A and B are shown apart, each in its own frame.
Chain A
Amino acid sequence: MIVAEQKPIAEIISIAFKHKSILVVGCGTCVTVCFAGGEKEGKTLSSLLRMKAQMEQKLLEIEELTVERQCDHEFIEKIVPLAGKVEAILSLACGAGAQLIAEKFPDKIVYPGLNTTFLGITEKQGIWKERCLGCGTCLLDKTGGICPIARCAKNLLNGPCGGSQEGKCEVNPETDCAWQLIYERLKKLGQSECLEEIIPVKDWSTSRDGGPRKVIRDDLTL
């Protein structure tokens, strides 16, 4: 899923206070699962903003709504009636959702309420970790199911670097060295010979480096 974190509350307040009315839009998918921008977070944030406005005697009208997915035209249709009533929209979706809202409402100011962080997993309650960078050509088959692009600080394809120590990464002693993990796993799977092969240079054109990407499925397009 996409993991995100809410922006510091002071930043959100200063955004909201620039306007007389604002719509807070939550998203019911990834950011709900990581407790950053779902219905619950949207409600909490809206009441906080209302309280703060009252305390500081600011005139601020707050509308609030959560849709199932902000990254889908079908679902954001629901925002239209409320959006008409406000000056600005605060999106609690990932960066993609926030952008679709901006596209849908060209005359509204749209603010991101979250910092979108990574594609990752829930390790346990309250802890999420990065796992994928969406490079466009997955090579997990060569690396024992552990991604060196997203999980090695230097995205080395033939690691580990000289800084790997006791299983930890030189960049952060709390992070596992991806190549130590790859080494152990391939050994356990009896695939140690994979480690002797030089993984060739990566074609980054399928990654962000090729420019913004687009997927077209002819079998699905209408």
Chain B
Amino acid sequence: MKTDSNLEKVLASGEFAVTAELGPPRGADPEDIHKKAKLLGDCADAINITDNQTAIVRMSSIAAGILLKQRGLDPVIQIVTRDRNRIAIQSDVLGAAAHGINNVLCLSGDHQKFGDHPTSKNVFDIDSIQLIQMLKKMRDEKKFMSGADIDVAPRLFIGAAENPFADPFEFRVIRLSKKISAGTDFIQTQAVFDVEKFEEWMKLVRKKELHKKTHILAGVIPIKSAKMAKYMKENVAGLRIPDEIVSRMEKAKDVKEEGIKICTETIERVRKIEGVQGIHIMAVAWESIVPKIVERVGLLPRPPIRKEDSNANESKNPNG
């Protein structure tokens, strides 16, 4: 084990993992995080906290992660390279690790054009693959990107995203293998709606035996309404939603129930695909539905979250 991460423990045990996404508030109220944490805490092994997703300003992912940590949950901090350079990211990762946060998901991030500050300057000093490399070096070599020594290295379980539905299709697998050789321990994919296409991608993944070198969690998004399905189909970069899903939502009498059904069917199908080791549920703004979904697919209860070794904690804290 590289870390105390609960997610790492679950994946290493071979259990089918469940992670869920939490979008922090557009304000300073910690109650928002606590409310969502209450909903997600018992049905997910780890909780991803988005980093100013779609370039809209929200509470910092690390700060929200600390709140989760205080509740005994296992946060996955998302870091985008859009807003911070290598200096800021390394510093933030040390800070997060000092608060006991282990899981970091490396992303390049949506362009600021999509957000609420479209006239801002972006950073992109490094890209997501270089971010993975940098974190691995910090953890394994105890060195900063510059080569300077780190006295106490952060213990990190490093994640990355991949989009099996973006183009060019064949290159997506090469890119995954680049992320693995950079050092990613786990992958959370873009939301799967087109299961056939996802299967095709997984076939290429297995051909290169990449599923043996990293843990792959398939992303899912429960859709709340036909309008949302249509909106996502037309406006969200990198999502592929088949017409059939939109028409199922349009025809449904109980739309919410249909949305849940589509989601649970997807989970059941991807679960059977060789090499898929978990799911990642992105129910941003519909967190309340996650427990029901996880229950329906028979993935409850979750294994108890491992508490940090209290002895180790004491030895770290001379005053404790």
Contact = CB atoms under 8 A, between A and B. Distances in A.
Interface of A: 153-167, 170-171, 177, 180, 183-184, 195-196, 198, 200-202, 204
Given A158-B130, A162-B162, A170-B110, 8 more contacts: A157-B127, A161-B108, A163-B111, A165-B237, A167-B167, A180-B168, A196-B177, A198-B181
A186 B122 CA distance: 28
Interface string B166-191: 11100100110110011000000010
22 contacts: A153-B111, A156-B127, A157-B130, A158-B127, A158-B129, A160-B171, A162-B161, A162-B166, A162-B238, A163-B110, A164-B166, A164-B167, A164-B238, A165-B237, A171-B111, A183-B168, A198-B130, A198-B133, A198-B178, A201-B86, A201-B145, A202-B125
A180 B122 CA distance: 22
Q: Interface residues of A: mostly helix, strand, loop or mixed?
A: loop
B113 interface: yes
A170 B237 CA distance: 6
Interface of B: 82, 86, 108-111, 113, 122, 124-130, 133-134, 145, 161-163, 166-168, 171, 174-175, 177-178, 181-182, 190, 237-238
Given A162-B190, A163-B238, A165-B167, A171 B113 contact: yes
B32 to A, nearest CB: 27
A205 to B, nearest CB: 12
B114 to A, nearest CB: 8
Nearest to B111: A171
Contacts of B190: 162
Contacts of A155: 124
Nearest to B190: A162
Which of B130, B162, B190 has the most CB atoms of chain A within a 10 A radius of its CB? B130
B132 to A, nearest CB: 9
A154 B127 contact: yes
A157 B161 CA distance: 17
Contacts of B125: 201-202, 204
A160 B122 contact: no
Among all A-B residue pairs, the 10 with the closest Cβ atoms: A162-B163, A163-B237, A170-B237, A158-B129, A162-B238, A156-B127, A163-B238, A171-B111, A201-B130, A162-B166
A201 B134 CA distance: 9
Given A162-B237, A165-B237, A170-B111, A154 B122 contact: yes
Contacts of A177: 167
Contacts of A204: 125
Contacts of B111: 153-154, 163, 170-171
A196 B237 CA distance: 24
Contacts of B124: 154-156
Contact of A195 (B162, B171, B182, B237): B171
A163 B166 contact: yes
Contacts of B237: 162-163, 165, 170
